[in-house]
Structure 1
């Protein structure tokens, strides 16, 4: 009789425990596990409040995809100094190792091109142009708000080189044409000298006669965000 009673109690305890686990699982599955926020709140977070991450990525015999993999990892929207990515390659996988090293070098070059934190451009400027790096960007209080974007500038020569120094936006013309070059279109012209130098839409792969060529959407951004009197710094 005692044995039967103990068996019943143990069975009941087991059933109760199982039932509780089942209830807890269902309840947990229905709970919201995400903390939702908006992009503005995330952008306002200072770097010192963000955790440091190390991402380990093992690859083997994947030379054909490792470049895209490294490129996508490099595009993660997270402060670079808080993110360490380690590509783990087997010692005998020389092909993948070579592809990874080449991709990492290209990513480092692209990261350096995108880095606008250590340049001569002053915090007072609204637009910065790096002629040798073929890039330009918009700033506000020293913080990059657009770009950098790929540009072309004046061809070598005393009459065609883009001048370097500090300038200010003089005026803007949305649908400008170049009277010097047979009314060639110069959409979204933002002049920064009285000698005809301007940001405007053009082919960034072709040198200009002194202006800064921007791609179509980039020229829209420069035209819309720059205003008369804004400082332009070219180095």
Structure 2
């Protein structure tokens, strides 16, 4: 964590195929990390929508299903359901600890396409490490149900351990298809989070060629 303001009331939650750092201040995840492999993507588990409040979190720090009802925002996954290689992992991906209030057009359009292109990369390269994050910037942040903060931006950071390449997508939480690709160094400055703190400085400074969504 680069920005100390993000560290308050954070809890690391491990699931079978991904991990999230959850914030009790925003009542959302700040990031979700995954190791996405070609072999696991072949499992092609049927999606089963069953959203639930995360029982491992204190009630005052977690989102509830009622928070999203009538909000106009989607319950947007950080670790995508389509990446999950088992029924257990599929169920876990619908924890609200893996969700943020996401613009519906963004969630179902641009962000969905970025998720798909990331899976394409994992299939082409055999495996990639992925950290997806929510960013809350500015002084006038929105809340749904006066409880759950709405991200202003998202990122999806990708690292190929076999080649040492890395890069990220930076996406506004709007319907405008507003995105850019950046280096991990630039992402760290934008987001206040270093998704890959142990990789080399050359990799961080040079963005890999990411597919266009």
TM-score normalised to the size of structure 1? 0.27
Structure of higher CA gyration radius: 1
Higher relative contact order (CA 8 A, sep 6+): 2
TM-score normalised to the size of structure 2? 0.29
Greater fraction of residues in helix: 1
